[in-house]
Structure 1
Amino acid sequence: MSAPEASNGLEKDVNSVPSNGGGAPIQPQMSAEEHQVARAAARFGYGPLAHVNTAEASLPPFGGEFQPGLYKSVEGRKFANPAPLGLSAFALTTFVLSLINMGTRDISSPNIVVALAFGYGGLVQLLSGMWEMAVGNTFGATALSSYGGFWLAFAIVLTPGGFEIGEALGETGPDPTPFFNSFGLFLMGWFIFTTIMLFCTLKSTVAFFLLFFFLDLTFLLLGIAYLHRDAEGGVNVPVQKAGGFFGLLAAFAAWYNALAGIADTSNSFFIIPVAHFPWSPTGRTRRSKTDREQA
């Protein structure tokens, strides 16, 4: 039976009340309201009236629209892909902060990051997350909006002479332990959130997975640097530098994914490879095609 015939048969079965052959209708097992709910559910592929092909019933990775390698083409779309903008905002802010965490050029104060965290990594990334929500991508909206919120919160904490959060916790006092402990817990909370996001990238691409993997290690190491301090009670510098190193890797991974999302046939002579996992939907499709070609 073809798909239109199956659809017509479904509508016919739903709208009609069967009889027992003698003209007396058989009482339906569901009420009219339950039938209406079931019909609505069937349109979206679930419920007792849905016809599901179990061989193709695996869920796509969070809509398949945040990682550029699985994003829909620009033709026929009402909205542009907001992911590269959010990834670029995240990448630049993370890049600068990671260099400071590594002690580059003997810079020890992250004050310059406050401007980026407010304007680019915070505001712009938050806006791109809201546009991900507009295109119906739950993962993209959650990730980009959350990390935009992270940079805004980070800037609020470190704003010199502004909110005085660090001063209230004794950051510049004789015993900065309360501030270090508080900031360490702040970073560990983001490590937990990033781990949750990391699990949701296992069906996407290698490039996208590595972004969250490097970021996860960054939050973990920076949190440890503040919670497990050195012998003098200060920030654990070697661990902080290690966190800065993985932060650099996360920044370049974010830029790579952003480029993969921007480059298409309208502006580039080549497409950026993102290396699909073998168990991802695209990987399985490519592998099945190869098997058929070899057969």
Structure 2
Amino acid sequence: PRHGFAHTHHGDFADMTVGQYAQAFGGALQPGAWRPYEHRKLANPAPLGLSAFALTTFVLSCINMHARGVEAPNVVVSLAFGYGGLVQLLAGMWYIAAGNTFGATALGSYGGFWISYGILLTPEWGITAPDGPYAGNVASVLGFFLTGWFIFTTIILLCTLRSTLAFFLLFFTLDLAFLFLACEQYAADLGNMTASLALQKTGGLFGFLAAFLAWYNALAGIQDSSNSFFQVPVIHFPWSEAARERRASKS
């Protein structure tokens, strides 16, 4: 089936044959071959989680690029708590019920990222306030925060190397966004505001691309013959299981 995908890892389905597995699919956050859970009737949580991630990332990335002169990220707080945070976290929890380790880890973690980012931006908490606990070192602390997410995203990225192009590019652009935004904070801590601004806008650009790639994968997960006259292309890497099976069927 096109949209019933789940990630497998060592020991999950030791008794299954290759022919019983479905293909990797970014529209369901499935980076590897897997077998559908026929005994469960669960909707695909990936489009919901991807859409929550995409919209929140889109808004923040527009601000990071200073679109239309907007620089203050405060408007993101509501999205970070409500949509990118809570809704994406819930989608990740449903993936635990569905048995998708990758989807649960990715959506649950990035849902946690948005909630924690919303807390950082909430004035009442005072975490990043000029007179707060990190007075004089706010940029460095935010750099550590973003560097940690860069490392985590690199780990997730490595798990998409045998999936689809759009799926891989989603986490590749997100990884670069975290990297440039972390470097932005380190540059600001050194007082190099010119470099900091350039790095912020570059990080915003990669975040902008990641948002649209997340929407693309979400659309691929929502579309089927019952609701759409067309389906967006899903391009598998040449070394993936799906590509090898396609070549074998033609030979």
Deviations 1:162-181 (A, max 9, x none): 2110126659xxx9640000
- Say whether residues 1:164 and 2:123 are aligned partners: no
Q: Is the 8 A contact 2:177 2:207 kept in 1?
A: yes
Q: Is the 8 A contact 1:169 1:179 kept in 2?
A: no
Identity of aligned residues (%): 58
Candidates 151, 163, 179, aligned match of 1:192: 151
- Say whether residues 1:239 and 2:193 are aligned partners: no
Candidates 160, 173, 198, aligned match of 1:214: 173
- Give the number of aligned pairs: 240
Q: Is the 8 A contact 1:68 1:261 kept in 2?
A: no
What amino acid is the match of 2:14? Answer: G
Instruction: Name the residue aligned to 1:101.
Output: 64
1:169–1:81 distance in 2 versus 1, CA, 3 Å: farther
State the TM-score, normalized to the length of structure 2.
0.85
Q: Is the 8 A contact 1:69 1:205 kept in 2?
A: no
Mapped partners of 2:184, 2:239: distance in 1: 36
Instruction: Name the residue aligned to 2:82.
Output: 119
- Say whether residues 1:151 and 2:151 are aligned partners: no
Instruction: Name the residue aligned to 2:242.
Output: 282
Q: Is the 8 A contact 1:68 1:257 kept in 2?
A: no
Instruction: Name the residue aligned to 1:36.
Output: none
State the TM-score, normalized to the length of structure 1.
0.73
Q: Is the 8 A contact 1:69 1:261 kept in 2?
A: no
1:249–1:105 distance in 2 versus 1, CA, 3 Å: same
1:284–1:116 distance in 2 versus 1, CA, 3 Å: same
Mapped partners of 1:111, 1:43: distance in 2: 43
Report the alpha carbon displacement of residue 238 of structure 1 after superposing the two structures with TM.
Answer: 0.5
Look up the SS of the partner of 1:124 in the other structure: helix
Mapped partners of 1:65, 1:112: distance in 2: 29
1:274–1:59 distance in 2 versus 1, CA, 3 Å: closer
Mapped partners of 1:70, 1:273: distance in 2: 18
Mapped partners of 1:147, 1:43: distance in 2: 24
1:164–1:105 distance in 2 versus 1, CA, 3 Å: same
Mapped partners of 1:43, 1:109: distance in 2: 46
- 1:247-258 counterparts in 2 under 5 A? 247-258=207-218
- 1:1-295 counterparts in 2 under 5 A? 45=14, 65-67=28-30, 78-160=41-123, 162-167=124-129, 170=132, 177-229=136-188, 232=191, 234=193, 236-290=196-250, 292=251
Report the alpha carbon displacement of residue 106 of structure 1 after superposing the two structures with TM.
Answer: 1.0
Structure 2: stretches of 5+ with no match in the other structure: 1-10
Look up the SS of the partner of 2:185 in the other structure: helix
1:68–1:43 distance in 2 versus 1, CA, 3 Å: closer
CA RMSD of aligned residues (A): 3.4
